[in-house]
Structure 1
Amino acid sequence: MPAPSLRIGEVARRTGLSVKTIRFYCDAGLLEPRERSEAGYRLFDQENLAELAIIRALRAMDVSIPELARILEVRRSGLCNCSVLKDSITAKMASIDQRISELSAMKDELARLLDSWQDCGGARADR
């Protein structure tokens, strides 16, 4: 007997995502509900829950929606997507390294500014 279909509220409770976020993922083409009820409700299955776990993890790494769509497409095709996922993670790591470098340079510049700061001699605003 197949597992029962889940309505979006139950999926939200199980995944920790908001209903609005799940609807967004559906509208963006990342998530395809298993079916619709006679009343038009989106109905999800265990595979949808597994895909939402992947989406959530990759979004936490700031993987873009188009990149997510590509990863899910490869996954759904049944082909091994290890290289796709590894490439995506490698690119994200490079992006993070670049951002760390930029933030470090910004911090150094602020430290230099602070070190060279001279009081303006005006009245202090005590709060």
Structure 2
Amino acid sequence: MEGLLMVRRPDDAARQAPGLRIGEVARRSGLSVKTIRFYCDQGLLNTARSEGGYRVFSGESLVELEIIRALRSMDVPIAELARILEVRRAGVCNCLVLKDSIAAKMTSIDARLEELQAMKAELARLLASWQECGGVKPDPSARG
């Protein structure tokens, strides 16, 4: 988890590299083109357009995609992701924002675990009290 909180900045070469097209970003990030387009459409990534109308990404976009990917794996909602990225782009340390998000997710998981434990206990009670219906079981040798 510490790697998630310590976000890498692209080196100078990556920052000054000519814009990357979406296929190259997909290849480097391991995300699909469709997913990257979705993140763009949701306002999570800042892109420019080439003269030909193609989306052009910076090296910083790769770092942001790494953050998005990690936080989405924890089911952080898109709106929360947008807030985290805005704070980061403003140059403000967002460790507290991330810690709050992670703590909230842990609380949510704890509540869900309690619900699942209660459901499991109810199913075990139901199974333990199960009575056979007394019907005739099919004869396995009578396959037709």
* Same-fold status (TM-score > 0.5): yes
**2:131 counterpart (108, 118, 121):** 118
TM-score normalised according to structure 2 size: 0.82
What displacement does 1:121 show?
A: 2.2
Distance 1:14 1:119 in 2: 59
Aligned residues: 126
Q: Return closer, same or farther for 1:5/1:112 CA change in 2, 3 Å cut-off.
A: same
In structure 1, distance between residues paired with 2:56 and 2:85: 19
Match for residue 10 of structure 1?
24
Q: Which runs of 5+ in 1 are unaligned?
A: none
Partner SS state of residue 13, structure 1:
helix
Aligned to 1:20: 34
Where relative contact order (Cα < 8 A, 6+ residues apart) is larger, the structure is 2
Report how far residue 51 of structure 1 moved: 0.3
Shift of 1:37: 1.0
1:29 correspondence with 2:29 = no
Give distance in 1, aligned partners of 2:75 and 2:87: 19
Which runs of structure 2 are paired with 1:1-127 in the superposition (5 Å)?
A: 2-33=16-47, 35-124=48-137
Residue identity opposite 1:16 in structure 2: G
Q: 1:15–1:123: structure 2 CA closer, same or farther, 3 Å change rule?
A: farther
State the AA in 2 paired with 1:118.
Answer: Q
Shift of 1:124: 3.6
Q: Which has the larger radius of gyration?
A: 2
**Counterpart AA for 1:72:** L
**2:90, 2:40 → 1: CA distance?**
18
Unaligned runs of 5+ in 2: 1-12
Identical pairs, percent: 73
Distance 1:4 1:38 in 2: 14
Q: Distance in 2 between matches of 1:46 and 1:3?
A: 7
Deviation at 1:36, TM superposition (A): 1.0
